[in-house]
Chain A
Amino acid sequence: MPMTNNLDPAQRFTKTEFVVRKERIQSITKVLFAVMAISMIIPLLLIIGYLFYHALPSLSWEFLVEVPKKGMRDGGIWPAFVGTLYLVVISLAIAAPVGVFAAVYLNEYAKDNWFNRIIHLAVINLAGVPSIVHALFGLGAFVYAAEFGYSILSAALTLAIMTLPVIIASTREALASVPMPFREACWNVGASRWQTIRAVVVPNSISGILTGIILQVSRAAGETAPVMFTGAVFYKAVERGELFPYQLNEQCMALSMHLYTVATQVPNVKESIPYATAVVLLCSVLLVNAGAIALRVWLRNHKKW
């Protein structure tokens, strides 16, 4: 019997004190982290519940399609809703193609040299610039320098500049996640870079690209300062339910701005109106995000490639 330290076989492989302590710590941390994760949902539910509770008296189809009345103390929010739609659609129509093409260039074509590294750095830093700075830039560049004046065009361009770097960054990330072997497979049958991009890179990253773009919808819809400085007004006379009330060179109303106005600038507003405005803003954004998720799932399951 060599090398056995007189242990009773029944005592072998049982828990030592150290193991017991380790297991206790393990279960504590698990509970702790789970609590953290769950507590994330609570504020969200509270916010939504609180908003809906206060908004309820005003919430109706009429509220959405009616114009504000009695100095915004009554009526609906149609001009602001359509204005936000205008701003979001136009700004993304500019930012999305530019951003995606820029990202494709940076990720697929650009060599790793100092020039492209500077572009990369610039993109990352631009993504972190506060929106009020974008607002000032938009005011100087589009309203005054380019002489677009206070207008939907200026505001949409400002929003586009604001969302562009984030779209570039998220698109690059989506492109970079396409495995190298897919590209090599293409190159090895003689595909050019562009053919490779079209045949494998974009189809395999499209859901990530779209998600990145659509997340910017909520940003463009929610930001107040950039549109306030460049093209949004307190009030604009619009027909009830009119679909195309604005021209590009006019100012418009916007939901975020309207919320700010009715909540802080107008005395004696019915209490439920600001809350209902917030609910409309929140629901539109959530709806778009839900649409994005659905599209993603659909693309993943139905893509023919």
Chain B
Amino acid sequence: MAAEQKQNSIQTRNLNLWYGEFQALKSVSVDVKNGLITALIGPSGCGKTTLLRCFNRINERFPYVRTQGEIVILGKNIYDPDVSLIELRKSVGMVFQRPNPIPISVYENVLFGLRIHHRLGHFKKAYLEEIVEKSLTEVGLWKDLRDRLKVKATTLQLEQQQKLCIARLLPLKPEIILMDEPCSALDVEGTRSIEDLMYKLRGRYTIVIVTHNMAQARRVSDECIFMLLGEKIEHSRTEDLFLKPQNPKTGEYIEGRYG
């Protein structure tokens, strides 16, 4: 188990989740490998978003959500009583379907996480500027935005907003980045550049991406998890899942019989 946990960033065991009476996840056990890009695919409403949101316990803001089972992230069970949600979410960042920059300047958006976690005046200005430059460079926004750091982030193009939302996570040095259909609000160009970006980040971060676009899953992911009605049906390397699906249901989905 210990060696296994070393190479798995996320492990769930018999994870069940209910929204009130409705069971959205049924005994899900997955192992997400370190440093890879793992895609979550499946028809709409099968619980992809729900599963993703379990990994940083953001589901819990609904009072009627009940979870059961084990989630081990980076070797630590996140339901242990000594787990701080604040520290957990620092390590497990999330990118949403619709870009959600905070309506403050680009500069402050990037630094938002740092500011949340440290006292005012904890950092020197030069250090902060360096962080902003590094983070924006990493997501490929620096060249476009270096002269517009004071612009309100909500006025950027959607694609830039989404990249900014990724850049915002980086100063906290996360190890896992969760993306929930990060391209569904973007056009073809935007989608491609986000995919390129994911490729650049690959290896340094463990990335889990939810997508309903199978071509995208095929393009960007190393491994693929197929879900159906709240259950994990199949988890294998992406080529294997698309070329030699083990489960007939997977085959049917890939061929477009449903979803």
Interface residue? A200 (CB, 8 A): yes
Known: A112-B63, A191-B116. A186 touches B102 (CB 8 A): yes
Distance between A188 CB and nearest chain B CB, rounded to angstroms: 4
Most buried by B among A111, A112, A188, A305: A188
Distance between B207 CB and nearest chain A CB, rounded to angstroms: 15
Residue in chain B with minimal CB distance to A305: B104
A113–B63 CA distance with the chains assembled, in angstroms: 9
Give the residues from 100 to 117 in chain B that come closer than 8 angstroms, CB to CB, to chain A: 100-105, 108, 112-113, 116-117
Residues of B within 8 A of A125 (CB): none
Are A190 and B100 in contact (CB-based, < 8 A)? no
Give the residues from 65 to 97 in chain B that come closer than 8 angstroms, CB to CB, to chain A: 85-90, 93-94, 96
Distance between A266 CB and nearest chain B CB, rounded to angstroms: 56
Residues of A within 8 A of B86 (CB): 190-192
Interface residue? B169 (CB, 8 A): yes
Are A186 and B116 in contact (CB-based, < 8 A)? yes
A187–B116 CA distance with the chains assembled, in angstroms: 10
Are B172 and A190 in contact (CB-based, < 8 A)? yes
A111–B60 CA distance with the chains assembled, in angstroms: 12
Q: Mark A105-119, 1 if CB is under 8 A from B, else 0.
A: 000000111000000
Residue in chain B with minimal CB distance to A183: B61
Are B113 and A190 in contact (CB-based, < 8 A)? yes
Interface residue? B212 (CB, 8 A): no
Distance between A203 CB and nearest chain B CB, rounded to angstroms: 8
Number of interface residues of A (CB under 8 A): 21
Give the residues from 193 to 216 in chain A that come closer than 8 angstroms, CB to CB, to chain B: 195, 199-200, 204
Q: Which of B104, B108, B169 lies in contact with A189, CB distance below 8 A? A: B169
Residues of A within 8 A of B152 (CB): 305
A200–B61 CA distance with the chains assembled, in angstroms: 17
Residues of B within 8 A of A181 (CB): 96, 98, 100
Are A190 and B85 in contact (CB-based, < 8 A)? yes
Residue in chain A with minimal CB distance to B109: A185
Q: Which of A112, A189, A305 lies in contact with B89, CB distance below 8 A? A: A189
A305–B94 CA distance with the chains assembled, in angstroms: 22
Are A182 and B63 in contact (CB-based, < 8 A)? no
A199–B88 CA distance with the chains assembled, in angstroms: 20
Distance between B81 CB and nearest chain A CB, rounded to angstroms: 18
Interface residue? A242 (CB, 8 A): no
Are B102 and A188 in contact (CB-based, < 8 A)? no
A184–B58 CA distance with the chains assembled, in angstroms: 8
Residues of A within 8 A of B117 (CB): 190
Residues of B within 8 A of A182 (CB): 100, 102-103
Interface residue? B56 (CB, 8 A): yes
A246–B42 CA distance with the chains assembled, in angstroms: 73
Residues of B within 8 A of A185 (CB): 96, 100-102, 165, 168
Distance between A199 CB and nearest chain B CB, rounded to angstroms: 7
Q: Mark A86-124, 1 if CB is under 8 A from B, else 0.
A: 000000000000000000000000011100000000000
Distance between B94 CB and nearest chain A CB, rounded to angstroms: 4
Q: Which of A179, A189, A191, A195 lies in contact with B93, CB distance below 8 A? A: A189
Are A189 and B96 in contact (CB-based, < 8 A)? no
Q: Which of B61, B93, B103, B112 lies in contact with A204, CB distance below 8 A? A: B103
Are A188 and B103 in contact (CB-based, < 8 A)? no
Distance between A303 CB and nearest chain B CB, rounded to angstroms: 9
Are B96 and A184 in contact (CB-based, < 8 A)? yes
Are A187 and B172 in contact (CB-based, < 8 A)? no
Are B89 and A190 in contact (CB-based, < 8 A)? yes
Distance between A138 CB and nearest chain B CB, rounded to angstroms: 37
Q: Which of B61, B87, B116, B172 lies in contact with A195, CB distance below 8 A? A: B116
Residues of B within 8 A of A195 (CB): 116
A46–B259 CA distance with the chains assembled, in angstroms: 64
Are A189 and B168 in contact (CB-based, < 8 A)? yes
Distance between B55 CB and nearest chain A CB, rounded to angstroms: 11
A191–B85 CA distance with the chains assembled, in angstroms: 9
Distance between A191 CB and nearest chain B CB, rounded to angstroms: 5
Residues of A within 8 A of B169 (CB): 188-189
Are A188 and B93 in contact (CB-based, < 8 A)? yes
A-B residue pairs in contact (CB < 8 Å), sample of 20: A113-B63, A182-B100, A184-B58, A184-B100, A185-B96, A185-B165, A186-B116, A187-B58, A187-B61, A187-B89, A188-B89, A188-B169, A189-B93, A190-B87, A190-B113, A191-B86, A199-B102, A199-B112, A204-B103, A305-B104
Shortest Cβ-Cβ A-B pairs, 8 listed: A189-B113, A181-B100, A305-B104, A190-B89, A190-B86, A188-B94, A190-B90, A185-B100
Q: Which B residues are closer than 8 A to A by beta carbons?
A: 56, 58, 61, 63, 85-90, 93-94, 96, 98, 100-105, 108, 112-113, 116-117, 152, 165, 168-169, 172
